[in-house]
Amino acid sequence: MPEPFGHLPHPLPRTRVRDLASGAEGTLTAVVHQNLSDAPARPHWTELAYVRAPSGLAWSTALGNIEPAA
Tell me what pLDDT residue 61 has: 97
pLDDT below 50 — which residues of the chain? Answer: 1
Tell me what pLDDT residue 1 has: 42
What's the one-letter identity of residue 51?
V
CB 18 within 8 A of CB 27: no
Helix then strand count (H, E) for the chain reads: 0, 6
Tell me what pLDDT residue 4 has: 62
